[in-house]
Amino acid sequence: MTSVPDIRIAPSILSADFATLGNEVSAIDAAGADYIHIDVMDGHFVPNITIGPSVVKALRPHSKKIFDVHLMVSPVDLFIEDFANAGSDIITVHAEAGAHTHRTLQSIKALGKKAGLALNPATPVDILENVIDMLDLVLIMTVNPGFGGQSFIPLLDKIIAARDIINTVEHPVDLQVDGGITPETAKLAIGAGANVLVAGTAVFKDGPDGYAKNIQLLRGEQ
């Protein structure tokens, strides 16, 4: 078995069975997920509605793994504390979600949580430069957010540029890619410098019996 070191897999529970979400979180934990990626959509910033802090809180006892909460919410500041108290470990907000990204990141850090910044496909990567000191995670969206099951947009130069910016600081910063990740596109993203792969469809598509195998495939294991 060959493996790629230091690659972390973050299954997106957006593709899980919402009728039994606690069991789904336990199942991906047991199947080898590194992070539990939780997509929060508000019906305003993106044209879909998913889950709120009470669901995150209800899921928390189902896994000790990192809860990686991706907020597709605008305005977002009002909700940061609720998601922090619900048991989030990483809180990622969108650069496009408000005028005061720096303040939002400050509030996440003040609550003792790791802070992530997500960039939509059309958002220039240099927006990272003035906030990289505050970030624990950079999320490059490789689909337009709102839905699972979309095709990967090959923004490889952007992932490379984000890695270059991350390499200007001493502290560890995850470079996460989200949208259309399959074993094939995972290789492209890793080659460009990503170290955390979000995947919904590619993990959940075969039902619980396939979770462990599908996570291994995303890691590059045979």
Residue with Cβ nearer ligand DX5 (130 or 152): 152
Catalytic one of 6, 17, 39, 209: 39
Binders of Zn ion in range 17-56 (CB under 5 A):
39
Contact present, 39 and 13 (Cβ < 8 Å): yes
The item of ligand DX5, Zn ion, none sharing an interface with residue 115, based on CB under 5 to 8 Å by kind, is none
Nearest distance, CB of residue 137 and Zn ion, angstroms: 12
Nearest distance, CB of residue 170 and ligand DX5, angstroms: 29
Binding site for ligand DX5 (CB under 6 A): 12, 14-15, 37, 39, 70, 143, 145-146, 148-150, 178-181, 198-202
Residue with Cβ nearer ligand DX5 (65 or 106): 65
Angle between helices 183-192 and 156-166 (to 10 degrees): 40
Nearest distance, CB of residue 101 and ligand DX5, angstroms: 18
Query: Applying CB under 5 A, what is the total number of residues that bind Zn ion?
Result: 3
Measured between alpha carbons, how far is 101 from 49 in angstroms, rounded to an integer?
A: 22
The item of Zn ion, ligand DX5, none sharing an interface with residue 201, based on CB under 5 to 8 Å by kind, is ligand DX5
Task: Name which of 176, 60, 34, 179 is nearest 116 in CA terms.
Answer: 176
Binders of Zn ion in range 167-186 (CB under 5 A):
178
Q: Which residue is nearest to Zn ion (CB)?
A: 70
Measured between alpha carbons, how far is 15 from 43 in angstroms, rounded to an integer?
A: 18
Q: Which residue is nearest to ligand DX5 (CB)?
A: 200
Residue with Cβ nearer Zn ion (39 or 136): 39
Measured between alpha carbons, how far is 200 from 150 in angstroms, rounded to an integer?
A: 10
The item of ligand DX5, Zn ion, none sharing an interface with residue 32, based on CB under 5 to 8 Å by kind, is none
Mark out the alpha helices in the chain (DSSP H runs): 21-30, 53-59, 80-85, 101-110, 156-166, 183-192, 201-204, 211-219
Question: In Å, how far are 12, 58, 94, 181, 192 from 156, measured between CA atoms?
Answer: 21, 37, 19, 13, 6
Task: Name which of 79, 90, 132 is nearest 113 in CA terms.
Answer: 90
136 is catalytic: no
Active site residues: 39, 178
The site for Zn ion (CB under 5 A) is made up of 39, 70, 178
